Structure 1
Amino acid sequence: MDNRIPNQWLLEQFMDYGTRDPKQYPVFVKPEWGQNSSGVTRVDNIQQLNELRQLRTESDPFYLIQQVAPGLREFELFMIPDQDNLQQYSILSVTETCNRSEDTLPVNGIYNKDSYYQDKTSELSQIELDQIWGHLKQMGNYRIARYGVRANSLEELILGKFHVVEVNLFVPMPLVLLVKEHSFWQKWLFINKAMKQLVLVTQSIPDSQEVKQVFFKKPPFVRRVKSLN
């Protein structure tokens, strides 16, 4: 994935085998097979990192160490392309992940009671959405994806001044569904439209493409990560 992310958006990250330390702190330590930020820990110094390493066993999943992104705000970009042209999008939503606490570097997610979500898609013009899409398609022609990025503002996000925190390709949930201001009906309409499009775009997968059984490998790792919390 690092090879697909342009350098200006890439954060330093590496698998933690205990043989390499970060160049600077803080960093985030993430399980390779995580879900909804479960198991993600912020580490502020080498002592905390070594203490975390000592808690692991040989049966634990691999962990990734990632540099902290410099942006002040966190955005989740969910997309499904057009079934006839993967270079165009059919679904594109921009959701901001916010936090009520005074922590400037929180681990946001459904397990953090201070996390909440705001829909930013309606604030963007068609031209601005097209600009964001132009950035995303530089990272690959995926049939569904959710990109986590950090930028100082929505304006800088549009201009491509951001860093990629994660690229979630494994049945990613659109976080716009967690926006409390949206009604059940609004969310149902989004789900209906997105799932119809996903069916169409899935049918465009060539029969010759190799099928990898990722789903049955992930759940055991996710359960193991949750048991460590």
Structure 2
Amino acid sequence: MIVRTLLVLGFIWHALRQRVKPWLFFQLNADYFNDSKGLYSKLDMDQSIPRRWRLQQSLDTDGTKPEQYPVFLKPEWGQNSAGVIRIDNEIQLEAARANRAQDSVPYLIQEGAQGKREFEVFVICSPDSKKCLRTLSVTQVLNTSNDAHPVNGIYNSETFYLDKTHELNRKQADQLALHLSQAGPFRMARYGIRADSIEALVQGEFKIFEINLFLPMPLVLLSKNLGTFEKLRLIGQLTGQLAQVTGEIPEARKRKSIFFRKLFYLNRLNFKKLPAKTEEEMVL
């Protein structure tokens, strides 16, 4: 994908220009990497979300009975909506469980968020500085189907994106960033959110269905309402900021082996093809 290539090359160029070691990029959110599991656990992230914004979520076991449908089954770690399934009733739930490989990664079951609109909010932050927020973009996720709860993702041909950042003034952007910072002082993150409107988003009336910390693509770069020149400008801005934030990681902090462990884990993601009506996302 051209956007990904430009992001990688842009980051390396800015890192070298700022005399930052490019490989330290993988340490941006290392504090939240689960060493024992070898991944950024969605269950760990779930516990960091303030209760008023958190959806009910747990490991999916045969004894788990949802209070209402739809619910979503998803691997404890995955990318680009891999393995995510929407479940509308008990029959579908039992079928999905029966069809799941015995040696597959652990699956979670999550209640469906009721907000009318889906947003992806991308944030770059310097938690060690007085002015934390460096950038914030708000992207609305839409779907060409009539499905009220699709599983959206960059590889879903029915999914498309619109940049909504311009609909927030500086004060509103800061307010939204303040809300999201309560989930943790992440240096880079993309939040999957359901809310009824932009105004509800700013007021903190939303539910977070996902926090992505490992290579989260700024989905604003896929927006249909942005031209090529604007996207190139944003790539330069975002990669420059990521290099700056990477350079701010304390030298004394213990480094974690994340990249190669994630590659190993990717090889285990051998999901069966299950009928899915599709909701959510991840990655650079």
Query: Do Structure 1 and Structure 2 share a fold, with TM-score over 0.5?
Result: yes
1:1-229 matches, within 5 Å, as 1-82=45-126, 85=129, 88-225=132-269, 227-229=271-273
> SS of 2:139's equivalent?
strand
Q: Is the 8 A contact 2:104 2:271 kept in 1?
A: no
- Tell me which of the two structures has the higher relative contact order, counting C-alpha pairs closer than 8 angstroms and 6 or more residues apart: 2
- Whole-Å Cα distance in 1 between the matches of residues 105 and 271 of structure 2? 12
On the 8 A contact 1:33/1:222 being kept in 2, the answer is no
The DSSP-based 3-state class of the residue aligned with 1:141 is coil
Do the aligned residues in 2 keep the contact of 1:83 with 1:204 (CA within 8 Å)?
A: no
Q: Deviations for 1:61-97, whole angstroms, at most 9, x for unmatched residues?
A: 1111110001010001101014752762111100000
User: What is the one-letter code of the residue matched to 1:142?
Assistant: F
Q: TM-score if structure 1 supplies the norm length?
A: 0.93
Give the gaps of 5 or more residues in structure 2: 1-44, 274-284
After superposition, the Cα gap between the structure-2 partners of 1:184 and 1:83, relative to the gap in structure 1 and judged at 3 Å, is farther
Given residue 243 of structure 2, which amino acid in structure 1 is its aligned partner? V
Identity %: 47
- Post-superposition Cα deviations, 1:36-84, rounded to whole Å, max 9, x if no partner, equal 1121110011221111111122321111111000101000110101475
Give distance in 2, aligned partners of 1:60 and 1:210: 31
Alpha-carbon separation, structure 1, partners of 2:100 and 2:106: 10
Tell me the CA shift for residue 221 of structure 1: 4.1
One-letter identity of the residue aligned with 1:119:
D
Residue type of the partner of 1:193?
Answer: Q
Give the TM-score normalised by structure 2: 0.76
Deviation at 1:224, TM superposition (A): 4.6
Q: Aligned with 1:139: secondary structure?
A: coil
Equivalent position SS for 1:228: coil
Alpha-carbon separation, structure 2, partners of 1:4 and 1:74: 21
- Structure 2 counterpart SS, 1:95: strand
Give 1:149's aligned amino acid: I
Give the superposed CA RMSD.
1.8
Separation (CA, whole Å) in 2 of partners of 1:136 and 1:92: 11
Deviates further, 216-225 or 97-106: 216-225
Higher deviation after alignment, 192-201 or 140-149: 192-201
Question: 1:138 is matched by which residue type in structure 2?
Answer: Q
* Greater alpha carbon shift after TM alignment, 218-227 vs 121-130: 218-227
Moved more, 133-142 or 210-219: 210-219
Query: Which consecutive unaligned segments of at least 5 residues does structure 1 have?
Result: none
Spell out, residue by residue over 1:176-208, the C-alpha distance to the aligned partner (whole angstroms, 9 max, x if none). 011123222211211111111111111222233
Question: Is the 1:79–1:144 Cα contact (8 Å) retained in structure 2?
Answer: yes
Per the TM alignment, residue 130 of structure 1 is displaced from its structure 2 partner at its CA by 1.0
d(CA) in 2 for partners of 1:103, 1:3:
29
The letter of the residue matching 1:150 is: R
What letter matches 2:55 in structure 1?
Answer: L
CA contact (8 A) 1:33 1:218 kept: no
